Chains A and B, each alone.
Chain A
Amino acid sequence: MEKVVLDAHNVSKTYNEESAVPVQAVNNVHLHITEGEFTALVGPSGSGKTTLLNLLGGLDRPTSGQIIVGGVDITGLKENELINFRLHNIGFVFQSFNLIPVLTARENIEFIMLLQGASKTDREKRVNELLNAIGMPDKADARPGELSGGQQQRVAVARALASKPKFILADEPTANLDSASANNLLDMMIRLNQEENITFLFSTHDQRVIDRARRVVRLVDGKISEDSQ
C-alpha cells in the first residue's frame, strides 16, 4: 500500500482579507502526495505555486483547510512546534540556493543535523554519505562562494536531505542555473528519487524539468486545473 506523506484538503490562502480587494492566492486545493513521488507543480507566474509550497511546508498558514504531513495536522501547530516539525520532517531547496556563506559545503549539510542535536559520529557519517550522493566529496571544504551555482544547489539538496525528511519541497530549483547545471541537478534528484525513494515536490516553469517529472500538477489562479496522476 502506498504511504501518504502529504495530504492537503480544501486549502485556501487569501491575502488582505480585510481589504476591499482581497487576493486569493490559493483556492480550495486538494493534493495528495505519496512516498517516492517526483512531482512538478507548474503554472504561470502568479498562479500560486510558491504560496502553495509555503503552505505545504508550514512556512505560511492557510486561511482555511487542513494540511497533514506524516499524519500530523500542521495547521494546528504553534509557531515553535511548527519550526521543530519542519526541522525533522520537511526539507527545503530554495531558488537562490540560500546556503550559509560562512560555512563550508560540509558544514552547511551538517548544520541541520546540529540543530537536530545529532551526535558527531552520526553527523560525519551522514554528511559523507550525502557528499558522495551529490557527487561532491572533493568540494567538502569549499565555501559557497567557491562553488558554481549548480554545485551550490546540489549542496542545498544535500542539506535538505540531511535531516532525513518525509519529503523535499523545492521552489524553482533550476531557475538560477544554466542548462548543463540544471540537467545535472535534475539527474541527481531523479537518481535520489529512484534509488533512495526520496519524495520531491517542486515548483517550476522550466519545461526541461516538467518533461522529466513523473507527475505534473498544474495550477492556474490558485486552483489545480490539471493533475497528470
Chain B
Amino acid sequence: MLFRLAWRNLWRNKNRTFITMASISSAVLLSVTLVSLQRGIFDNLIRNVVSFYTGYVQVHGKGYWKDQTLENCLPLTDSLLRSVQNIPGVAGVAPRLEAFSLASYGEATKGCMVVGIDPESENGVTHLKDKLISGDYLARGGSGLMVAEGLANTMGVRTGDTLVLLGQSMYGSTAAGKFVITGILRFGAPDLNQRLIYLDIGVARLMFDTGEGVTSLVVSPANESEFRALAARLQSSLTDVADVMTWEEKMPDIVQHIETDTASMYIISGVLYLLISFGIFSTLLMMLAERRREFGMLVALGMKRGILARLAVIESVLVAFLGAITGILISFPVVWYLEKHPIKAWGALRETFERLGFEAIFPTVLQADIFISQTAIVLTLALILAVYPAWHILRLNTVQAIRS
C-alpha cells in the first residue's frame, strides 16, 4: 500500500517530479560521461605508455631493479621461459638484455642504451615494428641494429652506416662490436628517442658475455585489466629466482598523475552531487510544505508517524531512482558513441600528443560499474536527504498541521 501511495503521490505534481527527475538525470549523465571519459583517457594513456617500452609486467633477476648491472641479470633457460609462458593469463613474453654503451660514428660518440631483443616476440608485446620509419625491421639472429631517430640525427647516421658500440661485459671486460644500421625507429618519448639501440638478443648476449642471461622479461597479459593478478601469479611461481614488477611499480610518476587527476574528478563529481542534493532537497521541502495538513490528517486518522515517515522516504528514493535510471538510459548511448567515436584532440594539443607518440584521442569506456556506482550514489543521497522529511513528520504537531 505504501509503495502504491508513494508512486501516486509522485504524480500529484507532474511538473515538479519531472523537473526533479530532469535535474537528477542530467547530473547522472554528466557524471557518468565524465567518469567514463576520464577512465577511457587513463586506459588509453596506460596503453600508450606501456606499449612504448615497459609492458604491463616485467620479470627481472633478483635485485636487478635496485642495482641495474649485468651481474644481476636473469639466467633465462628454456624451461624458465616455458614456465613463464605457461602461467595462466600470459599472452606473450619478450626477453631483453639492456646495457649502457657508447655509440661511435666517425667523430661522433654518444651514450646509449643497447637493448638486445628477440625481434618477433618484442614486436608481439610492444609493437616495435610500428615505430620503424626507415630501413628494415631487425631479423631474428641478424647482425645489424636499429637505432632511434633522435640518436641517429645527433650522430648523423642513417641506414646502411656502421656504428661502433663500446661497453662493458658482465665480467668487466670490454664489450665492443661493429654493426650496420638496418633500420631507424621513431619513439614519441624524447628520452627513448635519444638513446635506444636495438640488437638481436643473441648478438647482445655474445657482446656482453651474459651467456643465457637477460635483464628482463616483458610479459603481456591476455587481459590487460588483470595485469596485477598476473604479476602476483608470476611472483608466486618465481619467488626464488626472479622479481616481478608491474608498470605501476616501474613508473610511479604516472600512477601519481592518475591519482591526482582522479582526485580532481572526485571534486567535480562532488560539486555535481551537491547540486543534485539541493534539487532533491528543495523538492522535499516543497512537498512537506504542500502536504503538511495531509500528514496531520493521516496521523489524526490513526496512521503511525513511523509509517508516514517511511512513505516520505519511499517517495524521495523513488524520484531519485527514476531520475538516476533516466540518466543512465540517456548516458549509455552517449558513452557508447564516444567509445566507438572518441573525441579527437585538435591544434597544439594534438601536435603535443603526436610528438609524444600518444594517440591524440579522448575515448570513453563502457563499464557497468560506472553506471552502477553513479546510481548507488544518487540513491544514497536521496536516502540521506529523506531523513529530513522523516524527522519532520516524526515531530509533527498534529493539530497545528491540520489547521495549516
Contacts and interface: CB of A to CB of B under 8 A. Distances in A.
Interface stretch (A100-108, A179-187, A189-197, A218-226): A100-108
A215 interface: no
Given A84-B302, A86-B300, 13 more contacts: A57-B300, A60-B398, A83-B299, A83-B303, A83-B304, A87-B301, A92-B300, A100-B298, A101-B294, A102-B8, A111-B1, A114-B1, A115-B307
Interface string B272-301: 000000000000000000000110011111
B337 to A, nearest CB: 39
A98 interface: yes
Nearest to A110: B1
18 contacts: A59-B300, A60-B398, A83-B302, A84-B302, A84-B304, A86-B301, A98-B294, A100-B294, A102-B5, A102-B11, A102-B12, A111-B1, A112-B301, A115-B301, A115-B302, A115-B303, A159-B301, A163-B302
B12 A101 contact: yes
Contacts of A159: 301
Nearest to A171: B402
B290 to A, nearest CB: 11
Given A54-B399, A60-B399, A100 B5 contact: yes
Nearest to A160: B301
Contact of A83 (B1, B297, B305): B305
Contacts of B11: 102
B187 to A, nearest CB: 68
Given A59-B398, A59-B402, A98-B294, A103 B5 contact: yes
B302 A98 contact: no
B85 interface: no
Interface in B377-402: 398-399, 402
A87 B297 contact: no
B108 to A, nearest CB: 87
Chain B interface size, as a band, is 20 to 34
B51 interface: no
Contacts of A88: 302
B123 interface: no
B297 A94 contact: yes
Contacts, number: 58
A119 interface: no
B54 interface: no
Contacts of B235: none
B9 interface: yes
A72 to B, nearest CB: 15
B391 to A, nearest CB: 15
Contacts of A98: 293-294, 297, 402
Interface string A59-92: 1100000000000000000001001101110001
A94 B12 contact: no
A87 B254 CA distance: 66
Contacts of A87: 301-303
Interface residues of A, number: 25
A108 B305 CA distance: 18
Contacts of A100: 5, 294, 298
A86 B305 CA distance: 13
Contacts of B304: 80, 83-84
A98 B398 CA distance: 14
Contacts of B305: 80, 83
Leading 5 A-B pairs by shortest Cβ distance? A87-B302, A102-B8, A98-B297, A86-B302, A60-B399
A100 B297 CA distance: 9
A103 B301 contact: no
Interface in B291-340: 293-294, 297-305, 307
A159 B8 CA distance: 20
B84 to A, nearest CB: 67
A106 to B, nearest CB: 13
A36 to B, nearest CB: 23
B399 A94 contact: no
A4 B294 CA distance: 31
A199 B300 CA distance: 19
Contacts of A92: 297, 300-301
A163 B9 CA distance: 24
B402 A94 contact: yes
Contacts of A112: 301-302
A13 to B, nearest CB: 11
B298 to A, nearest CB: 8
Among B5, B299, B398, residue most surrounded by chain A Cβ atoms (within 10 Å): B398
Interface string B203-239: 0000000000000000000000000000000000000
Contacts of B8: 102-103
Interface in B1-43: 1, 5, 8-9, 11-12
Contacts of A57: 300
Contacts of B299: 83
B50 to A, nearest CB: 58
B295 to A, nearest CB: 11
Interface in B350-404: 398-399, 402
A65 to B, nearest CB: 17
Nearest to B307: A115
A84 B302 CA distance: 6
Contacts of B1: 111, 114
